Amino acid sequence: MKELEAPRSRHAIACLGNLVYLFGGYRLCRDTYYSPASDTLLVYDPCMDTWHMPTQLLPMPTVEMGITAVPHRSND
């Protein structure tokens, strides 16, 4: 699995379809060891072994949250 740009902790993660979604958490800065709360959503595609960040951010930085993934529509 391809590594993230920075380690994360206290994030939420959910799998839906063939993708893995990572929400918020603390992002450790390797240079300063400062851990700001993150407002990012990252999406991992295991078939392509790539992470990407959608253009939209979370409404606010979030840590230690629960998450549930529910499909909205069928792509059939």
Do residues 24 and 35 touch, judged by C-beta distance below 8 A? no
Query: What pLDDT was estimated at residue 31?
Result: 76
Is residue 72 included in any domain, yes or no? no
Within-domain flag for 59: yes
DSSP the chain: -PPPSS-EES-EEEEETTEEEEE--EE--TTT---PBP--EEEEETTTTEEE--SPPPSS---S--------S---
Note the Cα 14 to chain centre separation in Å. 9
Classify residue 10: in a domain, yes or no.
yes
pLDDT (tens, 9 = 90+) of the chain, 76 residues, equals 888 877 888 888 888 889 998 888 888 777 777 677 888 889 999 999 999 988 877 777 777 666 666 666 665 5
Residue 70 lies in a domain: no
Number of separate domains in the chain: 1
Q: Indicate whether 43 belongs to any domain.
A: yes
38: in domain: yes
Range of the domain at 41: 1-65
pLDDT in tens, 5-18: 778 888 888 888 89
Domain contains 27: yes
Q: How high is the pLDDT of residue 44? A: 94
